[in-house]
């Protein structure tokens, strides 16, 4: 089956699952989809926190499906080059490993014109995530916009061959946030990394762990803990308006879930926190999720990668009431 057809099927089945957003400061597009799919008298906030139980989810499932294409487009975040009335134009990048160049692209509106005005999300007009198809080689960067042409670009060198997913996460001025994606191939052979469930990561001399259980269709809390030489690190600095930034990708289609911490935002640029950072997570399906935690200490940004297995949930079972 071709990709479009497969996504269409996914869209119907996963609508409500993706319709529930993540975290307190959470991602807006899925949350708004959830609001549309929820009866007006119900509290969307409560539903997201799981306080209304299974009934609310069942309702959201049916109504989200009824909403059809609009909802489906948002619920397949990060698996399409066009969504929400915007498209990611072809990505230009070096074609071989080690070649120095730039990665650049444009965002096009419904008329094909480049978008030059954006609404910042988490302190940036556009977040660029690049990851190889096996989940390795993750990068989260912030390219520069040429406001005259609408071209985004950033210096770029590939360090490994393979097929990459490029995600652009942004909100055009006056529009809802969307995440668009394209594939970019880098010549050469590579040995795919097989994802093994992993809740600990060693990065730049820091030990980072993640606890919490993902359950398909249900809210879960994840806690990331940062230590150095076994001692809690309490000097996490604000990064993108929070004390950490978590991107979750579903293994298999790399569907994109952009997560932010629960709890209060940093009180100011000098605020620090740690060693724990909590996130609300709500995964749509059972299976593996690749998680990437970006955090900042002493002005340096680090990324810790984890792989979590989500257990199957029962919240979406049609016979439940
Ligand atoms: Cu970003």
3-state secondary structure at position 194: coil
Asked if residue 135 and residue 108 are part of one domain, the reply reads yes
Q: Is the pLDDT of residue 70 over 60?
A: no
**CA dist., res. 17 & res. 13, Å (int):** 8
| Residue 200 CA to ligand 1 centre (angstroms) | 23
Q: Is the pLDDT of residue 299 over 50?
A: yes
| Residue 185 CA to ligand 1 centre (angstroms) | 22
pLDDT band for position 3 (50/70/90)?
A: very low
Number of domains the chain is built from = 3
Residue 231 in domain: yes
Q: Is the pLDDT of residue 175 over 60?
A: yes
| Of 157, 6, 7, the residue nearest 77 (C-alpha) | 7
Mean per-residue pLDDT, 109-135 = 96
Asked if residue 240 and residue 142 are part of one domain, the reply reads no
Mean per-residue pLDDT, 2-26 = 37
pLDDT score recorded for residue 176: 95
pLDDT score recorded for residue 66: 35
Higher model confidence: residue 196 or residue 92? 92
Q: Is the pLDDT of residue 140 over 80?
A: yes
pLDDT band for position 260 (50/70/90)?
A: low
Higher model confidence: residue 65 or residue 197? 197
Among 1-5, 29-33, 242-246, the range with the most confident prediction by mean pLDDT is 242-246
Residue 229 belongs to domain with CATH number: 2.60.40.3340
Domain extent, residue 117, equals 82-186
Q: Give the DSSP letter string of 111-146.
A: TSPBP--B--BTTBSEEEEEEETTS-S-EEE--EEE
Q: Is the pLDDT of residue 279 over 70?
A: yes
pLDDT score recorded for residue 4: 43
| Residue 126 CA to ligand 1 centre (angstroms) | 7
| Residue 9 CA to ligand 1 centre (angstroms) | 30
Residue 94 in domain: yes
């Amino acid at each position: 089956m071709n990709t479009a057809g497969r996504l269409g099927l996914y869209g119907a089945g996963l609508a409500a699952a993706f319709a529930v957003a993540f975290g307190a400061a959470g991602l807006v597009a899925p949350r708004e989809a959830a609001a549309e799919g929820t009866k007006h008298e119900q509290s969307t906030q409560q539903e997201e926190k799981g306080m209304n139980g299974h009934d609310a989810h069942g309702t959201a499932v049916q109504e989200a499906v009824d909403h059809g294409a609009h909802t489906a487009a948002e619920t397949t975040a990060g698996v399409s080059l066009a969504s929400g009335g915007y498209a990611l134009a072809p990505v230009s990048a070096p074609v071989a490993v080690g070649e120095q160049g730039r990665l650049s692209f444009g965002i096009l509106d419904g008329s094909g014109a480049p978008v030059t005005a954006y609404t910042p999300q988490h302190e940036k007009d556009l977040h660029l995530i690049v990851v190889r198809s096996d989940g390795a080689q993750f990068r989260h960067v912030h390219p520069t916009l040429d406001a005259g042409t609408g071209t985004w670009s950033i210096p770029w060198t590939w360090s490994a061959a393979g097929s990459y997913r490029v995600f652009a996460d942004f909100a055009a001025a006056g529009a809802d946030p969307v995440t668009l994606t394209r594939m970019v191939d880098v010549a050469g052979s590579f040995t795919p990394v097989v994802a093994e469930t992993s809740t600990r990561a060693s990065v730049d001399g820091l030990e980072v762990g993640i606890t919490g259980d993902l359950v398909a269709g249900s809210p879960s809390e994840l806690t990331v803990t940062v230590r150095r030489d076994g001692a809690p690190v309490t000097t996490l600095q604000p990064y993108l308006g929070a004390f950490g930034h978590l991107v979750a990708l579903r293994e298999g289609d790399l569907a994109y879930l952009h997560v932010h911490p629960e709890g209060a935002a940093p009180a100011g640029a000098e605020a620090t926190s740690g060693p724990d950072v909590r996130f609300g997570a709500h995964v749509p399906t059972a299976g593996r999720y690749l998680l990437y935690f970006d955090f900042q200490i002493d002005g340096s940004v680090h990324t810790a990668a984890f792989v979590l297995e989500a257990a199957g949930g029962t919240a979406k079972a049609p016979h439940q009431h």
